Amino acid sequence: MGDGDVEAETRQVLANLQAVLAAAGASPRQVVRTTVFLADLADFAG
């Protein structure tokens, strides 16, 4: 993506993670913890 829209990029990352989990026979309900790193803290609200 790289268009600077942090909300759209976040939605895409979560969709990708959901697909990876599904391929492994898992679901987001089985995820214990995740960590998100922001390149720009100003994007936090988004």
Question: 14-32 pLDDT, tens per residue?
Answer: 999 999 999 999 999 999 9
CB 21 within 8 A of CB 30: yes
Whether the per-residue pLDDT at 44 is higher than 70: the answer is yes
pTM over 0.85: no
Q: What is the pLDDT of residue 29?
A: 94
Q: Which domain holds residue 35?
A: 6-43
Whether the per-residue pLDDT at 3 is higher than 80: the answer is no
Q: Does residue 1 form part of some domain? A: no
What is the residue-averaged pLDDT of the chain? 89
Structurally, the chain folds into a number of domains equal to 1
